[in-house]
Amino acid sequence: FQPRESLPAWIEAMDVCLIPWPESRWVKRAFSLKLFEYLALGKPVVSSWTREYLPYRDLLYLARTPGEFEKGIEAALAEGGGRAGGKRAELAKRRIEAARANSWDKKVEAFLRALERLG
């Protein structure tokens, strides 16, 4: 267990972030907010396949089998190192933008706009 405030430093130290789940009917529709925590730091993510992550499939690697998971890790590592240059720099920017677009503040704003439309 790590205190929540120390998590960004732990995630920053990771080369690839993983979201492994055992295959189940529930997982096919699961959405872990951990995805946005990882994307907010621009990190490559390899996750078990879930339908809910499909809108973000160009920002992460989805895997249905252990072999696909392994290939996803290899592809994530091949993006290039560090923040400077390479495929990872462009993907990191897009990942951070996706996380910002899905922040709690953005969700609250959308909810309030919906309430205003209802009158």
In which band, very low, low, confident or very high, does the pLDDT at 85 lie, cut at 50, 70 and 90?
A: low
How confident is the model at residue 82, as a pLDDT?
Answer: 53
3-state SS of 65-95?
Answer: CHHHHHHHHHHHHCCCCCCCCHHHHHHHHHH
Chain segment 30-76, per-residue pLDDT in tens: 888 899 999 999 999 999 999 999 999 999 999 999 999 999 999 99
Name the β-bridge partners of 48. 63
Whole-prediction pTM: 0.84
- Asked if 98 contacts 89 with a C-beta cutoff of 8 angstroms, the reply is no
Within 10 Å of residue 40's Cβ, how many Cβ atoms?
18
Q: Is the pLDDT of residue 97 over 90?
A: yes
Domains (range + CATH), the chain: 4-118 (3.40.50.2000)
In which band, very low, low, confident or very high, does the pLDDT at 7 lie, cut at 50, 70 and 90?
A: confident
